Structure 1
Amino acid sequence: MLYHIVKPAYWYQCQPDEAYVPETFAEEGFIHLSTREQVAGVLERYYSGIRPLIALHLDESLLTAELRYEPSTNGELFPHLYGPLNRDAIVSTEEL
Structure 2
Amino acid sequence: MTHPYPTTAYKVLTADQMAALEQEGVFTGAPVDKADGYIHLSTAGQLTETVDKHFAGQSDLHIAAVDLEAMGEAVKWEESRGGQLFPHLYANLPLSAVVAYSPMRREDDGMVRLPVTG
TM-score category, normalised to shorter length: 0.7 to 0.9
Please give the TM-score of this superposition, normalised by the length of structure 2: 0.73
Larger Rg: 2
Q: Where in structure 1 are there 5+ consecutive unaligned residues?
A: none
**2:43–2:87 contact (8 Å) kept in structure 1:** yes
Distance 1:69 1:27 in 2: 18
What is the aligned-residue identity percentage? 24
User: Is 1:5 aligned to residue 49 of structure 2?
Assistant: no
Q: Matched residue pairs, number?
A: 96
2:23 alignment partner, SS class: coil
Q: Who is 2:88 aligned against?
A: 80
Code of the aligned partner of 1:94: S
- The alignment's TM-score, normalised by the length of structure 1, stands at 0.87
Q: Which structure 2 residue ranges, 5 or more long, are not aligned?
A: 1-7, 105-118
Question: Which structure's relative contact order is higher, taking Cα pairs within 8 Å and 6+ residues apart?
Answer: 1
Moved over 2 A (4+): 13-19, 23-26
